[in-house]
């Protein structure tokens, strides 16, 4: 039997790691104080050779809570013209384990491949697992979906909104990398609106319809019908 579920407001995945604690020193700010540009710090960068190309990996910390985020970059981001970009939300099950319950892993790989082919672009990998409810709550949500709930109903049954993500750190992270405007790979119009509202010029939205399979048909149909994703049911 699973352990009893904690109250939703204690369940957010915001625990600081050891490295983040070192970086934070005495600087932890209370949420809402200052501006997004002050909340995020670029800690360090390194080369990251990958299957698709030689990326640079940039590590950021959110000074409000110690949450760590990364950017995978290729080419001259500060050069002229909007940068091919993806703002990807963490999905351990899809990105690392090859889960077929969602389309996340296929989208991440497709984005890296497109950026490598173009020779310029960036992926912000935001640690907002499970649309912000965290990994263990996503497992609870999957359990409910095993029993018949859809992805929105499962979040709601656990006491969460369907989507808890925020995009306020995207603008300062991109600015730190020299990006002035993006061509955004996404099927999610709410993400485009959220980025524009946060001060990120989105010059173009590029669909990224990959990874449909028999195990995620219902999930993708719910994203289209309840969450507003621009997904053609017959798209590959």
Report the nearest approach of ligand GTP to the CB of residue 95 (Å).
8
Q: Indicate whether 192 belongs to the interface with ligand GTP (CB under 6 A).
A: no
Binding-site annotation, residues for GTP: 86-90, 107, 129-131, 151, 186, 191
**Residues contacting residue 204 through CB under 8 Å, at least 6 positions apart:** 82, 183, 184
Q: Which of 130, 134, 172, 211 binds ligand GTP (CB under 6 A)?
A: 130
Strand 83-89 to 121-126 pairing: parallel
Strands (DSSP E) contained in the chain are 40-49, 54-62, 68-74, 83-89, 121-126, 182-185, 202-206
**Residues contacting residue 117 through CB under 8 Å, at least 6 positions apart:** none
Q: Which of 58, 64, 138, 140 binds ligand GTP (CB under 6 A)?
A: 138
Active site residue 56: no
Report the nearest approach of ligand GTP to the CB of residue 220 (Å).
9
User: Rounded to whole angstroms, how far apart are CA atoms 83 and 68?
Assistant: 23
Q: Indicate whether 212 belongs to the interface with ligand GTP (CB under 6 A).
A: no
**Residues contacting residue 3 through CB under 8 Å, at least 6 positions apart:** none
Q: Indicate whether 104 belongs to the interface with ligand GTP (CB under 6 A).
A: yes
> Which residues sit at the interface with ligand GTP, rule CB under 6 A?
89-91, 102, 104, 107, 128-131, 133, 138, 141, 151, 155, 186-188, 191, 223, 229
């Amino acid at each position: 039997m699973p352990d009893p579920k904690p109250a939703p407001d204690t369940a957010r995945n915001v625990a600081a790691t050891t490295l983040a604690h070192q970086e934070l020193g005495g600087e932890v700010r209370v949420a809402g104080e200052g501006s997004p540009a002050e909340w995020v710090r670029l800690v360090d960068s390194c080369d990251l050779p990958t299957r698709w190309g030689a990326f640079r990996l940039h590590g950021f910390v959110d000074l409000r809570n110690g949450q760590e985020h990364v950017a995978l970059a290729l080419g001259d981001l500060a050069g002229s013209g909007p940068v091919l970009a993806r703002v990807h939300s963490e999905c351990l099950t899809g990105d690392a384990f090859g889960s077929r319950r969602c389309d996340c892993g296929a989208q991440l790989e497709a984005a890296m491949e497109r950026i490598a082919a173009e020779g310029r672009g960036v992926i912000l990998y935001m640690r907002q697992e499970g649309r912000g409810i965290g990994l263990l709550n996503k497992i609870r949500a999957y359990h409910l979906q095993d029993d018949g709930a859809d992805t929105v109903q499962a979040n709601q049954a656990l006491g969460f909104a369907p989507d808890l993500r925020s995009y306020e750190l995207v603008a300062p992270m991109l600015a730190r990398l020299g990006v002035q405007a993006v061509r955004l790979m996404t099927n999610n119009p709410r993400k485009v609106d959220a980025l524009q509202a946060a001060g990120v010029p989105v010059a173009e939205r590029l669909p990224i319809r990959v990874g449909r399979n028999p195990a995620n048909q219902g999930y993708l149909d719910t994203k289209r019908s309840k969450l507003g994703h621009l997904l053609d049911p017959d798209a590959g």
